[in-house]
Structure 1
């Protein structure tokens, strides 16, 4: 039987035999630390002469490297629309003093440097401005038909939150209320057997209140000389209008929303994923005077339409001298 001892422990045992204070120190276990922190922890304990010399190129680069000064707050340009002396107070002077009393020059924003982001295409902007000026001169301040209609007739678009239903179930209700007055649509949803009809009715009431408060729609007859008129809608239905300010649903459509997945336990231990869909409802409310104007435009278009003639009086062209067969 041989005793396995490292060479370092043999040397330590020899010194222990010479030193009578600790004669059995070579029999105590020796635990060596071979981690990366051992060298770094003892590195600071070494004298300066035994430390490794640093790289002279790195020291020279650090000496020549300019020190970064802390950024100073800039000032708004003179042509800035955000400049408000009453709110912002007096402008800071060009030279300010820091905490230590050292004078620092205040930085001023350069409009030429900011033009790259604010005006990236100056030629295109000038061409567009010239085009708008020419168009305004040609029109002489007259509004287009679309602008005139937006000025005279009021419209409100209201989008609801996501209902816990699918587009397939909500779309029949959207078709049902389209073309009806708001009051009739609310009554239809009140007596509907659909589960989501309650949410649709609440959204119609919210859209009606929004139209009254924000747009001033549906406030009653302003012109007392108005006589009830019977019109025909674009889908062929006849409606009698007694109040031109009555609100009606011009358009109604659905939009898909987010959905969640829940486990659906099936036979034989199978688990499927069931999608709990959500859908939003958007409605466009207008006044009855808009529908009256559309009815009148439709009648004028039919009156201007020419009578169809089977053989109109026009010159015969593309005739050949010989038969084509």
Structure 2
């Protein structure tokens, strides 16, 4: 039985045994150069320490020493931007400014260029606003008064994986209802997208309460008598709390869509659109509907009584027939 061993490995082992070097000297990394006469002799890499680089020594001398603890504005020792300390402010300067309770002052020229790029236009606008306030004598318009007295919240949903045709009926269903009734309607709806609409209504309700302070109940010391009002759709609604939230408007619109290949017969490929739609709701308080109801009632009461023959002067009349 013969031993199948590479001849090169056997020759290397024999050389290692006959030479005076260490038995594992062939494991030292080496360089093999190629010349016009073929492969040259194998040279062993020099594992002696590299000569010191003067640029590296100079950089290490300039580099600030690591300080104990972190300083505001300083970089961590493991940061990849640690070398930028040479070009930026020294940590000692930032520490002194932090101890004094103030940060380094900003450049006013740079701030002025960003905050006031056109001074002449700003002065003209200020002058225009002053003249307008003098003409109005400090009085607010009806729209401004309503903005101060009544609150509203507009909430836009994320993209639903459905089409506008399927989402419009749900938007019409919740419009005009209180937020609690709208959530109940979406809870028992059989539509697939009704779950997403219900979650968005809950999010819009929480957002209106937290950001706008709506739906928190009547203020202390104020009472409200239950009132039966009529909405703009002609429905009768009983209001017990003027701060109750209701859906004033709800509409939807198209959003981005993707495409999916639809493989057909005879090698045809059709592209199907994966549509998405966004829902937007406007939440208001019942105090707004009460005001609108009172305005409609007042407008009806101010109408003049219709008469068949009104009492008005007769003009452009002739005493003879015109034919």
With the shorter chain as reference, the TM-score category is: 0.5 to 0.7
Structure 2 partner of 1:312: 310
Q: What's the CA shift for 1:314?
A: 3.3
Equivalent runs, 1:20-169 vs 2, <5 Å: 87-89=103-105, 118-119=118-119, 126=124, 129-169=126-166
5+ residue gaps in structure 1? 1-85, 93-107
Equivalent runs, 1:158-307 vs 2, <5 Å: 158-222=155-219, 223-307=221-305
Q: Distance in 2 between matches of 1:90 and 1:192?
A: 58
3-state DSSP of counterpart to 2:176:
coil
3-state DSSP of counterpart to 1:300:
helix
Q: What's the CA shift for 1:231?
A: 0.3
Q: Distance in 1 between matches of 2:261 and 2:120?
A: 54
Q: Distance in 2 between matches of 1:257 and 1:319?
A: 65
TM-score (norm 1): 0.60
3-state DSSP of counterpart to 1:156:
strand
Pick closer, same or farther for the CA change 1:181–1:91 going to 2, 3 Å. closer
Structure 2 partner of 1:103: none
Q: Encode CA deviations 1:185-214: one digit per residue, 9 max, x unaligned.
A: 000000001110000000000000000101
Alpha-carbon RMSD across the aligned residues, in angstroms, is: 3.2
Q: Distance in 1 between matches of 2:217 and 2:269?
A: 58
5+ residue gaps in structure 2? 1-101
Q: What's the CA shift for 1:272?
A: 1.5
TM-score (norm 2): 0.61
3-state DSSP of counterpart to 1:204:
helix
Q: Encode CA deviations 1:154-181: one digit per residue, 9 max, x unaligned.
A: 1000000110001000010000000000
Structure 1 partner of 2:59: none
